[in-house]
Amino acid sequence: MSLPGLVWTDLRSDTHEPSPVGELKAHFRLHHLVGTASLTQDIDQRAPLLACFEYDYPNLPGLKALRATKRAYPGLPILMLTVHHSEALAVWAFRTRVWDYLVKPVSAEELWRRIRQLLSVLPANPDAARRIAMPAPLIPREARIGAPGPTERLTQQALTYVQRHYGEVLRLQDVAGCCRMSVYEFSRCFKRVYGLTFREYLCRYRLQRSLEMLVNSHASIAEVAIAAGFRNPSHFSRLFHQRIGVTPSEYRMSPPDGRLLPEDA
């Protein structure tokens, strides 16, 4: 019995680093591409059962290639692997209808487990998969530049720290410490990399989380404020009205419409 086909597209900035692609040779007729020059031709000729896009730090051309592949072959399941992870990138991947999204490093056992789950549910005729007309999602701004420099990599640790601890009291010296910087150096680098101060970023992040929490009508406004990291509910309500344009209660009364925090909030 012949093995199913797999086209693995390597879009890493450093292709000399180890890749999990070799772990799949026993399970697939594996075709390993570096770059996308012959991607369409290879998919047409090989009719693979699965496609994988491997990144370290995705850039704009690399993500456009994945999106274009999914639009051209809507019935082809795509697995995306990346070192750089963010909430925005994950949301973009799933809106693009990527079948699975993995953050490296990923073990060979975990990679094969995910793929095995896919194989168990694939239709006998992949070409029969439904075509769903959806607007193409915009690629996140943070993924448009590609591999960050050393300073950017250090400050990215602050974003992860915020995601994990935004509901707590965050001291600037603790966040700077997790990035192995002094407070002065961290503040200067963060502003240069992201175009706003860390305090402003934290405020926007907490407000965005509060928008999601307000959907839960069982939580009081004060409880939402505390959970989002605002110690003073009155201050939260004033700030919310100033940035969002309505009070938290008014926002809650309106049916959720996917509203996001304004870019200039």
Render 33-49 in DSSP notation, one character per residue: EESSTTHHHHHHHH--S
Condensed to tens digits (0 to 9), the pLDDT of residues 78-117 reads: 999 988 777 778 878 888 888 888 888 888 888 888 888 7
Q: Are 53 and 20 in contact (CB under 8 A)?
A: no
What is the residue-averaged pLDDT of the chain? Answer: 81
Answer whether residue 8 shows pLDDT above 60.
yes
Average pLDDT of the residues in 154-174? 87
What is the reported pLDDT for 4?
87
Among 64, 62, 68, 5, which Cα is nearest to 35's? 62
Percent of the chain with pLDDT over 70: 83
If residue 15 lies in a helix (H) or strand (E), which one and from where to where?
Answer: none
Average of per-residue pLDDT across 21-32: 88
Task: Tell which wins on pLDDT, 40 or 105.
Answer: 40
> Would the pLDDT of 149 be above 70?
no
Residue 256 has pLDDT above 70, yes or no: no
Residue 124 pLDDT greater than 50, yes or no: no
Higher per-residue confidence, 202 vs 151: 202
- The per-residue pLDDT for 146 is 56
Residue 122 CB partners (closer than 8 Å, separation 6+): 49, 77
Contact residues for 209 (Cβ-Cβ < 8 A; gap 6+): 166, 227, 228, 229
Give the least confident one: 13-17, 134-138, 158-162, 184-188.
134-138
Cα 6 from Cα 24, distance rounded (Å): 9
For residues 14 and 20, is the Cβ–Cβ distance under 8 A?
A: no
User: In the predicted model, is pLDDT for residue 265 greater than 70?
Assistant: no
* Confidence tier at 133 by pLDDT (50, 70, 90): very low
- As a whole number, mean pLDDT of residues 34-42 equals 92
This model's pTM is above 0.75? no
Q: What is the pLDDT of residues 51-75, one digit of tens each?
A: 999 998 888 889 999 999 999 998 8
Report the range out of 50-54, 143-147, 157-161, 251-255 with the highest average pLDDT.
Answer: 50-54
Ranges of beta strands (E only) in 17-166 are 29-34, 50-54, 78-82, 100-103
Chain center to CA of 141:
11
Does residue 163 contact residue 206 with C-beta atoms inside 8 Å?
no
**Residue 23 near residue 47, CB atoms below 8 Å:** no
**pLDDT score for 129:** 43
Dihedral sign, Cα of residue 13, residue 16, residue 20, residue 24: positive
Q: How far is CA 178 from CA 76, 155, 158, 174, 196, in A?
A: 41, 9, 7, 6, 19
pLDDT in tens, 183-236: 999 999 888 887 888 999 899 889 988 888 887 777 899 999 999 999 999 999
Cis peptide before 105 (omega within 30 of 0): yes
The whole-number pLDDT of residue 264 equals 45
Contact yes or no for 109/21 (Cβ under 8 A): no
